[in-house]
Structure 1
């Protein structure tokens, strides 16, 4: 029996008595319960296939500790399939999971909608949607996340822009209940046909975006300074991001871009092939350098990177120029999220290459005092984080706060843009 089949059967037994159609717990007063942010890299909302058909929702949190064991593994994208590694060990203290509405609910604009909406998983064209269904069936369903495709096994939900994981709090003390939380802006709904449309024979549903959640007054827009680079970049989702200025500069330099919907998606994770592309595009912006980066290759640079893959030529060039390397098993794993430590390793080599291309020594000269991170002393990237923290602060604490670097946490787009910008600026001074 395959591991995937075994996992499916084990979850089917564990969840046999649980259904996503169970009513959610009654809403609690805002004055009693609050919420606090959770590192999105430590969270996963997963569609678990059931033997009876359909899916159940599983929410898993990766707890941070020195002897950390991974709670799940991800493969591919559009969709991303998930292997629940927590089935293979006693996950107490390593992972926190919620399998029903006692452990999660929807929160919008600071209000818990557990009483009026239930969370469920529905098929939609060639993917699965995570939706909040109102108890009043005349109201529209709220779309929270989507799998962006179908595949066998466990599927990961990607939260829609504006949604995030938060934790319920009581008197500022964290509880075990998770929220799918939104501030109430840009809510996507599954629009039901109107009576007139039904009379006309139009029965199809569609996903549309509202400016705000029905019945919730969205928070007033932040006062913005038109001279702020973050505003000038034109993105709708970085005004409150700590890296907004560096994101805007990075986009202006040209090694990273936003999306067609005017978002940057700062909290999305970056894959290994995307980082390679960013590094090379950054090198191409350095004045008076002549990089001969091919647009195609004749053979596969790695067993898991086909020659016709969009990133193959860049990966091959980066490998040939000692900017990237593969794993001990010979693979490159292009779609795997790049960790913050791996990000630093590639940026150090990128900076060294940039200095050599300008006819300068490859030694990275410190520009400031190094940072003593509390979680990297015994890590393979310990010396690397120290070095890169002293090199224009390319290495900095998670969200620029505290003394932990979180080397094994997947890098988000906002920090990756900022760190790459710092590395390029420091190597061209």
Structure 2
């Protein structure tokens, strides 16, 4: 009787493992990439607070209304024209890792590397930090200067924009890739995504979370505490400039309101 129960248990475990194995193999989605016209894309460092910036990538739909305008150099500033009109049919924007990611040495590295904008030597550098501190960081691009305005991030020569490909279907997900020779597809600008992926609620990477301010009840006969003076010059500048520039920052923050997508899910090809 005991032997029979052991055999049944072993059989059940074997069947469970055999069922899990093919599922794991099927869920490990392999994406490819294809070449795009680099002039239709721009990486932008968008200010969202004093001396703080976020990464956004804008794609121009060919033949449609202009999404941005460049001016100057060191740094090149970006006039975000798409904020002034309904850009749904003219521009695509990727504002977090749901819309863009790193592709390094032929594979997606959304988990191993984290993209950050670092102020270094008077310019912003787009850095890919590896989760292993022993691994070197990757410099993807730089602004060649710093101003309190949207700035173009010039990708380093060994990096370029590509887009995601899954089983021959183009997906609206942008890579910053070090692949020197991505495959070329015909009619890339209108390559369809076969049934869009399922939607999720994205997490805004690097977006400051607004905390509710508790309501304080007045206390009778309680003296008003003295204001603590600002002890640093930078703190004083921040206190002055941030309120004055808040309307501008709020306008730029509109860049980071996007339609949720789940780019990691392959398109549903079943009909």
- Pairwise TM-score range, normalised by the shorter structure: 0.5 to 0.7
Residue 248 of structure 2 corresponds to none
Deviation, 1:164, is 0.5
Residue 42 of structure 1 corresponds to 40
Instruction: After the TM superposition, list the runs of 4 or more consecutive aligned residues in structure 1 that deviate by more than 3 angstroms.
Output: none
Distance 1:152 1:46 in 2: 13
Distance 2:167 2:89 in 1: 23
Are 1:123 and 2:119 matched, yes or no?
yes
Higher relative contact order (CA 8 A, sep 6+): 2
Are 1:135 and 2:127 matched, yes or no?
no
Distance 1:85 1:162 in 2: 29
Deviation, 1:46, is 0.2
SS of residue in 2 equivalent to 1:87? helix
Residue 85 of structure 1 corresponds to 81
Residue 71 of structure 1 corresponds to 67
Deviation, 1:76, is 0.7
TM-score, normalising length: structure 1: 0.35
Distance 2:73 2:39 in 1: 16
TM-score, normalising length: structure 2: 0.55
Instruction: Give CA deviations for 1:113-151 in whole Å, capped at 9, x if unaligned.
Output: 111001110001010000111112232210000011122
Deviation, 1:52, is 5.4
Residue 60 of structure 2 corresponds to 62
SS of residue in 1 equivalent to 2:49? coil
Name which one, 1 or 2, has greater alpha-carbon Rg.
2
Distance 1:171 1:93 in 2: 26
Deviation, 1:51, is 1.9
Q: Aligned Cα RMSD in Å?
A: 1.8
Distance 2:51 2:119 in 1: 12
Deviation, 1:81, is 0.2
Residue 265 of structure 2 corresponds to none
Identify, as 1 or 2, the structure richer in strand.
2
Q: 5+ residue gaps in structure 2?
A: 1-26, 182-271
Distance 1:76 1:165 in 2: 22
Q: 5+ residue gaps in structure 1?
A: 1-27, 185-218, 220-429
Are 1:156 and 2:152 matched, yes or no?
yes
Aligned partners of 2:51 and 2:148 also within 8 Å? no
Residue 105 of structure 1 corresponds to 101
Distance 2:89 2:167 in 1: 23
Aligned partners of 1:82 and 1:154 also within 8 Å? yes
Distance 1:139 1:46 in 2: 26
Residue 95 of structure 1 corresponds to 91
Aligned partners of 1:105 and 1:118 also within 8 Å? no
Residue 259 of structure 2 corresponds to none
Match of 1:183 among 179, 182, 193: 179
Aligned length: 155
